[in-house]
Amino acid sequence: MGRAEVGTPKYLANKMKAKGLQKLRWYCQMCEKQCRDENGFKCHTMSESHQRQLLLFADSPGKFLHNFSKEFSDGYMELLRRRFGTKRTNANKVYQEYIAHKEHIHMNATRWLTLSDYVKWLGRTGQVVADETEKGWFVTYIDRSPEAMERQAKAERKEKMEKDDEERMTEFIEKQIKKAKSKEGEDDEAQEKYTELKREEEQPLKLDIRLEKKFQPESILGKSALLTKRPADQPDEKVFKRPKPVPVESSRSALDEIIKQEEMKKERANRKDYWLHPNIVVKFISSSMGDKFYKQKAVVQEVIDKYRAKIKFLDSGEKCKVDQAHLETVIPALGKEVLVVNGAYRGSEALLKKLNESKYCVTIEILHGPLKGRIVENVQYEDICKIHGT
């Protein structure tokens, strides 16, 4: 049976069939030929051209297998980089778009048997960030282009400069605090040395001013006619009343203003939309897994992609991967250690000092670092969490 002539309906039907994807079991990777049915594939395997390709493959199978694997991986990674960028994407979705092109390299010709094996290999070689979920494997492309590396280096330098400025400001604040404390100590010593003059009874203040009489005109000229006798009931003393003390309103010192500005700057820099940290105790608040795990406490063992975590329930010991939307922080008893998971003091360990249930906030004391001993008030419940083992 000969081929259909160009332009005939049979010719057009054959072209339309050949344009789409066919079954993988009837595809020959060595010859790059797709057959439409089992009979056509059988005829192809018995052809002389196919036998020559098999002889070439038998001479160096490792070379062909390596080339096919490399072409498949390059095509997959190019599609992942160009189509999805650095977004977290389902690996099977990328694979389905890759095999939609007719001239693609099939996975059965590579050294990977399944897509899961290929994704694991990408994760081990550091080309992507691979994580397994209930919906399958997800991949995130790691951009190592010169432009991306330069942007990352600039961001790191900027962060280091901001951190250096923050450390210098912290040292300046500590010096000011020490200076203020030393000044208060000197004032206390001065108050102990010099006592305040106080009157025991509430009486008017009398000033007795005595001047030496160097010139006495009465002895020469006599008494003046203008001088009259002073009444007997008028005292010689002049009476002065003590003015009432004027209250002085306490104004915010420059040190307090600097500390407030520094905390506002740290709040803007450290306030994130994710708060998960390893080794903290959380509460599972989702009822999607049934009443068995609802409102049960667990410890975060590993943080995945900032917004997801691998947790272990404290009662049953079972493990699972959940999103941070299904978790909430746990507040320990007073006097216990907590971890600041969000806000200005993010990542700092502190001591729980006071609990304000009406405002849903607490008062903590920083335990480590250059800010050790600082008391921070009005910290929201969701910004701190209990540390496992404390």
171-222 tens-digit pLDDT? 888 888 888 888 777 666 655 555 555 656 666 666 666 655 555 555 544 5
pLDDT for the residue numbered 259: 76
Going by pLDDT thresholds of 50, 70 and 90, the confidence category of residue 387 is very high
CB atoms within 10 A of CB 143: 13
> In this structure, what DSSP letter does residue 134 have?
T
pTM of the model: 0.38
DSSP-based three-state secondary structure for 53? helix
Residue 310's DSSP bridge partners are: 302, 321
pLDDT at 37 over 80: no
With a pLDDT cut of 70, the percent of the chain lying above it is 79
Cβ-based neighbours of 61, under 8 Å, separated by 6 or more: none
Residue 92, H or E segment? helix 91-98
pLDDT for the residue numbered 231: 52
Going by pLDDT thresholds of 50, 70 and 90, the confidence category of residue 279 is very high
Sort strands 136-141 and 88-90 into parallel, antiparallel or unpaired. Answer: antiparallel
Q: Which residue has the tokens 């344009």?
A: 19
Sheet containing 384-386, strands listed edge to edge, beginning at the edge strand earlier in sequence: 375-380, 361-366, 349-356, 337-340, 384-386
Distance between start and end Cα atoms, the chain: 84
Going by pLDDT thresholds of 50, 70 and 90, the confidence category of residue 224 is very low
